[in-house]
Amino acid sequence: RKEVEQDPGPFNVPEGATVAFNCTYSNSASQSFFWYRQDCRKEPKLLMSVYSSGNEDGRFTAQLNRASQYISLLIRDSKLSDSATYLCVVNKDNAGNMLTFGGGTRLMVKP
């Protein structure tokens, strides 16, 4: 089983649509959770951290279910500029502090 698993997509949605991405992780020792965004051939950039209580940042809402080892990201009112690959990322909070990445979900927002 992959450590962090995501549907690769692509998700093709019209502007203004609401789209949801899901992610599962296999290591129950994981402590910190993130969504990163990666544009084509660019570096990953943090979109938002994910907390057990759920958190919202503008049009973006992230949820974490530790019991099911499941993370989600909801994007409301999609913009053309949201087109990118969204990476689900976990951190075991061990000495090395390494990030484990999912393969990413590609989103394409069309006019």
Partner 1 sequence: EPEVTQTPSHQVTQMGQEVILRCVPISNHLYFYWYRQILGQKVEFLVSFYNNEISEKSEIFDDQFSVERPDGSNFTLKIRSTKLEDSAMYFCASTTGRSYNEQFFGPGTRLTVL
Positions that interact with partner 1 (CB under 8 A): 31-32, 34, 38, 41-46, 49, 87, 91-104
Give the ranges where the chain is alpha helix by DSSP (H). none
Minimum Å gap between C-beta 4 and partner 1 is 8
Cα–Cα distance measured from residue 47 to residue 57, given in angstroms and rounded to the nearest whole number = 9
Name which of 78 and 89 has its Cβ closer to partner 1: 89
Burial letters 41-54, b for 16+ CB under 10 A, else e: eeebeebbebeeee
Minimum Å gap between C-beta 59 and partner 1 is 20
Name which of 16 and 45 has its Cβ closer to partner 1: 45
Minimum Å gap between C-beta 18 and partner 1 is 26
Beta carbons within 10 angstroms of residue 87's beta carbon: 24
Cα–Cα distance measured from residue 49 to residue 40, given in angstroms and rounded to the nearest whole number = 22
Name which of 78 and 88 has its Cβ closer to partner 1: 88
Minimum Å gap between C-beta 14 and partner 1 is 27
Name which of 76 and 91 has its Cβ closer to partner 1: 91
Q: 21 by DSSP, 3-state: which? A: strand
